[in-house]
Amino acid sequence: MYTIKNYCMVSSLEEAYELKKKNRNNTIIGGNLWLKMGSRNIMNAIDLSLLGLDQIEEDEEGFRIGCMVNLRQLEMDKGLNNTFCGIFSEAMGHIVGVQFRNCATVGGSIFPRFGFSDVLTAFLACDSYVELYHGGTVPLKEFTDMAPDQDILTHIYVRKDQRRVAYQSFRITETDFPVLTCAVARQEEAFSVVIGARPACARLVEGVSLSDPKSSDCRKAFAREVISRLEYGSNMRGSAGYRRELSEILIGRCLDRITEDELC
Residue 120: CB minimum distance to ligand FAD, A: 7
Residue 56: CB minimum distance to ligand FAD, A: 15
**Binding map of ligand FAD across residues 80-119, x = CB under 6 A, - = no contact:** ---------------xx-------xx-xxx-xx---xxxx
Instruction: Decide whether 51 or 210 has the Cβ nearer to ligand FAD.
Output: 51
Binding residues with ligand FAD: total (CB under 6 A): 28
Segment 7-66, which members bind ligand FAD (CB under 6 A)?
Answer: 27-35, 37
* 185 is an interface residue for ligand FAD by CB under 6 A: no
Segment 202-261, which members bind ligand FAD (CB under 6 A)?
Answer: none
Instruction: Decide whether 86 or 178 has the Cβ nearer to ligand FAD.
Output: 178
Q: What is the 3-state secondary structure (H, E, C) of the chain?
A: CCEEEEEEECCCHHHHHHHHHHCCCEEEECCCCCHHHCCCEEEEEEECHHHCCCCEEECCCEEEEECCCEHHHHHHCHHHHHHCCCHHHHHHCCCCCHHHHCCCEHHHHHCCCCCCCHHHHHHHCCEEEEEECCCEEEEHHHHCCCCCCCCCEEEEEEECCCCEEEEEEECCCCCCCCCEEEEEEEECCEEEEEEECCCCCCEEECCCCCCCCCCHHHHHHHHHHHHHCCCCCCECCECHHHHHHHHHHHHHHHHHHHHHCCCC
For ligand FAD, which residue has the nearest CB?
108
Instruction: Decide whether 67 or 182 has the Cβ nearer to ligand FAD.
Output: 67
Please state whether beta strands 41-47 and 190-196 pair in parallel, antiparallel, or not at all (unpaired): unpaired
Length reported for the chain: 264
What residues are paired with 159 via a beta bridge? 62, 127
Instruction: Decide whether 102 or 216 has the Cβ nearer to ligand FAD.
Output: 102
**Binding map of ligand FAD across residues 118-137, x = CB under 6 A, - = no contact:** xx------------------
The residue from 17, 123, 177, 222 that contacts ligand FAD (CB under 6 A) is 177
**Binding map of ligand FAD across residues 149-168, x = CB under 6 A, - = no contact:** ---xx---------------
Residue 157: CB minimum distance to ligand FAD, A: 14
Residue type, 71: L
Contact residues for ligand FAD, defined by CB under 6 A: 27-35, 37, 67, 95-96, 104-105, 107-109, 111-112, 116-119, 152-153, 177-178
